[in-house]
Amino acid sequence: MNLNFRKSLKLIKIFFIVLVVLIFYGNLFSQSYNDLETLGGYKTKVFLSAGNLDRAKIVAERMDRVLEFYNKLIAFEPDVTLLILNPTDWPKHTTFPVYGMPHYDDKRNLLIIASENNEFWESFIPPVDILPGTLAEKIKSAYADADGNLTMQPFFDLLAIHEIGHAYQFQAGLNVQRMWMGELFCNILLHSYIAENEPDQLSALTVFPQMVISAGKEEYKYTSLSDIEKRYEEIGEKYPKNYGWYQSRWHFAAGKIYDEAGIDAFIKLWKVFSEQKEKLNDDKFAELLSGNVHQSVANVMLRWDE
């Protein structure tokens, strides 16, 4: 791999560190939003920092579409409160230390999203002039704003849908069987919604993970599913870039599952995780996925190391 290309990927490590903090960081705030404005008329309860009404409407409308879409498919709708916060209000309502990363707080049923562009998003804009030509063009196409400037906001806005996937998982009491499957489940929910409802956003969703995967796995200490299952917290805390590689693989796998099985894969996966209460060994789990969902889902286990 080109040395400059590898160096350019180092910026991704910041994202992975933040992602890990998100997963393992507690939240101690009470549910008081008197300092925020309210926005009614949506499925989610919406609170926002002053001056961000237009942004709040865009986010709330998308979340309504997500909830409506899946309610029609699985007859379940989680209870979610949406906070759209500026940098000043952010630390008042979340202990998550970095402004800009969407995250779900399952203890308070909160989905927290930044109201504006920020240094965190900007830090992931890759130096396209030193990337391989094809990848550079994909990045320009996926992440350019109306003025032609690169911004990672489209990717981070889509991650909010992944986070609301955890609301479905936790509030419905799904038995996803494996830690890694909980993340894959949310990525399947995210990719399926975008493919079905906002296909013009597929590039924004997929190009960033492709950039990570294209760098290879040689530098990572852990690469198997058994590694991440046994050492989930250790990998997250001590090897954040390694954890991010796993997330990118799950993003890619979710896209492949949708391409091969369509929306039925998610519907069947929901049914299986709702009904299967007993913990299964790997062989039985793969058999359950291939027989009751789709072979492409089972192949995430069976062909992971290929």
pLDDT band at residue 236 under the 50/70/90 scheme: confident
pLDDT band at residue 20 under the 50/70/90 scheme: low
Express each pLDDT in 67-124 by its tens digit: 999 999 999 999 999 999 999 999 999 988 888 988 899 999 999 999 999 998 888 8
What are the structural domains of the chain? 3-302 (1.10.390.10)
Residue 127 has pLDDT above 90, yes or no: no
pLDDT at 13: 66
Higher pLDDT, 14 or 24: 14
Residue 302 has pLDDT above 80, yes or no: yes
Q: Tell me which residue has tokens 């991650």.
A: 159
Residue 1 has pLDDT above 60, yes or no: no
Express each pLDDT in 240-299 by its tens digit: 788 888 989 999 999 999 999 999 999 999 999 999 999 999 999 999 999 999 999 999
CB burial of residue 183 (10 Å; 0-12, 13-18, 19+): buried
What distances in angstroms separate CA 112 from CA 21, 42, 45, 52, 211, one per listed residue? 15, 16, 12, 14, 26
pLDDT at 26: 47
Distance separating alpha carbons of residues 255 and 257, to the nearest angstrom: 5
pLDDT at 27: 46
What residues are paired with 105 via a beta bridge?
110
Q: How would you write 243-262 as a 3-class SS string?
A: HHHHHHHHHHHHHHHHHHHC
| Phi, psi dihedral angles at 259 (to 5 degrees) | -60, -35
Burial annotation 102-134 (CB, 10 A radius, 16+ → b, else e): bbbbeebbbbbbbbbebebbeebebebeebeee
| Phi, psi dihedral angles at 6 (to 5 degrees) | -65, -40
What residues are paired with 85 via a beta bridge?
114
Residue 155 has pLDDT above 60, yes or no: yes
Higher pLDDT, 18 or 296: 296
Half-sphere exposure of 153 (CA within 13 A, CB side): 15
Express each pLDDT in 177-230 by its tens digit: 999 999 999 999 999 999 999 999 999 999 989 988 988 899 999 999 999 999
Judged by phi (left if over 0) then psi (alpha if -120 to 50, else beta), residue 174 lies in beta
pLDDT at 242: 86
